[in-house]
């Protein structure tokens, strides 16, 4: 399964509400007469439906005013109001190489202009700032990623297919996913760790929007939807990914305070490389092209021309698999690198640097 950008991947929202109702309907008071149980079940259905619907509507009322539509010269995406100063967080692949954008907020009748503060493609995040702060601008509340659990109900808010202020629903399907983004069609090629997987519909234009829990907290920024390479890259329904809210805050705070990202928290070897293939044209490792002087690989004695085949306990066959293995580690962590040099396999200890 590959991950591709949201503008290419449609899907159908999961009908979670009916499942909740089915569970609630199965409950009845012990010892009640049959007629009473029947009446209780009939009353429980509309009561449960009304309660869930009211909760959805409360969350939408709380968060949707913080979700904006971003128009670049050739692309359309979404963003989330980050603070009261007019900063907006979105995906780097939404802004690409542009500096000026049109932004439509929930309270603005006409598009406002915004300027890029900084783009950080390595995490597929960027921050814009409105040139003029409108009245009633509402900043979103970001949740703690550590508290996100599988099965939680989620709402995805954004501008799919240009339909501003759209909402879809689903659940958290998994946490801690490491996913690599394609570079085709303007993608950043970033390998992003700890992503939140959701069944909420992530459609073209949702990129940069909000994945929200029922406490009205943004738990992620929808970024990727899955495609199935065995089906010609067509959509894999119900599989979308969001950058975790805690990482969004870490990156956005640095950009706003310092104008750039100074502490990525991402491990690095300090090399550039390319995927090599074996005699059967299958990926077989990463050939080191350059080694940054004084960085982790250099200190461990790795040289240009070496072919990396393992990192720690992970088997490395491509530049993407190397990036995904590094994404699970931290700067300063000690691990091992296995590589071949002139046909001889070697393993060295490495203290990882920072991306």
For residue 99, pLDDT over 90 is answered with yes
- 59 and 206 part of one domain: no
User: Cβ–Cβ contacts within 10 Å for residue 4, how many?
Assistant: 20
User: What range defines the domain where residue 346 resides?
Assistant: 267-354
pLDDT at 39: 52
- 104 and 184 part of one domain: yes
pLDDT at 211: 97
Percent of the chain with pLDDT over 90: 56
pLDDT at 6: 45
Q: Which two tokens stand for residue 321?
A: 């698999």
- 205 and 288 part of one domain: no
Average pLDDT, the chain: 83
Contact criterion met (CB below 8 Å) for 67 and 156? no
- 53 and 20 part of one domain: yes
- What residues are paired with 271 via a beta bridge? 291
pLDDT at 238: 87
pLDDT band at 129 (very low <50, low <70, confident <90, very high): very high
Phi, psi for 263 (deg, rounded to 5): -135, 95
- 333 and 212 part of one domain: no
Measured CA to CA in angstroms, residue 133 lies from 12, 32, 355 at distances of: 36, 60, 34
For residue 36, pLDDT over 80 is answered with no
Q: Which of 50-59, 83-92, 314-323 has the highest mean pLDDT?
A: 83-92
Whether 4 sits among the annotated catalytic residues: the reply is: no
- Residue scoring higher pLDDT (225 or 94): 94
pLDDT at 97: 86
- 27 and 101 part of one domain: no
pLDDT band at 262 (very low <50, low <70, confident <90, very high): confident
Phi, psi for 192 (deg, rounded to 5): -115, 120
- 94 and 128 part of one domain: yes
User: Residues 298-308: what's their mean pLDDT?
Assistant: 95
Phi, psi for 172 (deg, rounded to 5): -75, 115
One of 66, 75, 78, 93 is an active-site residue; which one?
A: 93
pLDDT at 145: 83
One of 124, 159, 227, 306 is an active-site residue; which one?
A: 124
Cα three-residue angle 72-241-326, rounded to 5 degrees: 100
- Residue scoring higher pLDDT (121 or 47): 121
pLDDT at 226: 79
pLDDT band at 38 (very low <50, low <70, confident <90, very high): low
User: Cβ–Cβ contacts within 10 Å for residue 320, how many?
Assistant: 17
Q: Dump pLDDT digits (tens) for 166-189.
A: 899 999 999 989 888 877 666 778
The residue out of 245, 263, 281 marking a domain boundary is 263
One of 207, 216, 246, 325 is an active-site residue; which one?
A: 207
In the chain, the number of structural domains is 3
User: Residues 212-220: what's their mean pLDDT?
Assistant: 96
pLDDT at 231: 56
The residue out of 263, 292, 316 marking a domain boundary is 263
pLDDT at 321: 86
For residue 2, pLDDT over 70 is answered with no
User: Residues 124-140: what's their mean pLDDT?
Assistant: 92
Among 6-10, 64-68, 171-175, name the one with the lowest average pLDDT. Answer: 6-10
Give the 3-state secondary structure of the chain.
CEEEEHHHCCCCCCCHHHHHHHHHHCCCCCCCCHHHHHHHHHHHHHHHHHHHHHHHHHHHHHHHHHEEEEECCCCEEEEEECCCCCEEEECHHHHCCCCEEEEECCCCCCCEEEEEEEEEHHHCEEEEEECCCCCCCCCCCECCHHHCCCCCEEEEEECHHHCCCEEEEEEEEEEEEEEEECCHHHCCCCEEEEEEEECCCCCCCCCCCEEECCCCCEEEEEEEEEEEHHHCCEEEEEEEEEEEHHHHHHHHHHHHHHCCCCCCCCEECCEEEEEEECCCCCEEEEEEEEECCCCHHHHHCCCCCCEEEEECCEECCCHHHHHHHHHCCCCCCEEEEEEEECCEEEEEEEECEEC
CATH number of residue 173's parent domain: 2.40.10.120
Whether 230 sits among the annotated catalytic residues: the reply is: no
Whether 207 sits among the annotated catalytic residues: the reply is: yes
- 60 and 185 part of one domain: no
- 254 and 214 part of one domain: yes
């Amino acid at each position: 399964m590959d991950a591709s950008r949201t503008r290419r991947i449609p899907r159908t929202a999961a009908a979670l509400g009916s499942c909740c109702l089915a569970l609630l309907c199965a409950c009845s008071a012990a010892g009640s007469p049959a007629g009473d149980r029947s009446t209780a079940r009939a009353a429980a259905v509309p009561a449960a439906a009304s309660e869930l619907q009211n909760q959805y509507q409360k969350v939408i009322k709380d968060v949707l005013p913080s979700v904006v539509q971003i128009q670049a010269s050739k692309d359309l995406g979404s963003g989330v109001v980050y603070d009261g100063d007019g900063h907006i967080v979105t995906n780097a692949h939404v802004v690409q190489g542009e500096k000026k954008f049109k932004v439509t907020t929930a309270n603005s009748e006409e598009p406002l202009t915004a300027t890029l503060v900084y783009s950080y493609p390595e995490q597929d995040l960027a921050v814009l700032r409105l040139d003029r702060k409108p009245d009633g601008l509402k900043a979103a509340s970001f949740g703690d990623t550590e508290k996100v659990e599988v099965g939680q109900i989620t709402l995805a808010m954004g501008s799919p297919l240009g339909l501003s202020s759209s909402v879809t629903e689903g659940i958290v399907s998994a946490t801690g996913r490491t996913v690599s983004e394609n570079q085709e069609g303007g993608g950043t090629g970033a390998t992003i760790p700890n992503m939140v997987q959701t069944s909420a519909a992530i459609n073209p234009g949702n990129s940069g929007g909000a994945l929200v829990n029922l406490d009205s907290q943004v738990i992620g920024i929808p970024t990727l939807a899955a495609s199935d390479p065995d089906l010609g890259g067509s959509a894999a329904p119900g599989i979308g990914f969001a950058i975790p809210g805690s990482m969004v805050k870490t990156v956005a705070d640095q950009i706003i305070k310092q104008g750039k990202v100074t502490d990525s928290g991402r491990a690095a070897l300090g090399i550039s490389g390319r995927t090599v293939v074996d005699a059967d044209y299958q990926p077989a490792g990463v050939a080191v092209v350059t080694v940054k002087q004084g960085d982790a690989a250099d200190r461990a004695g790795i040289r240009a021309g070496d072919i990396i085949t393992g990192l720690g306990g992970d088997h490395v066959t491509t530049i993407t698999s190397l990036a995904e293995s590094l994404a699970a580690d931290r700067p300063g962590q000690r691990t091992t690198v296995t590589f071949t040099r002139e046909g001889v396999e070697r393993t060295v200890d490495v203290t990882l640097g920072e991306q």
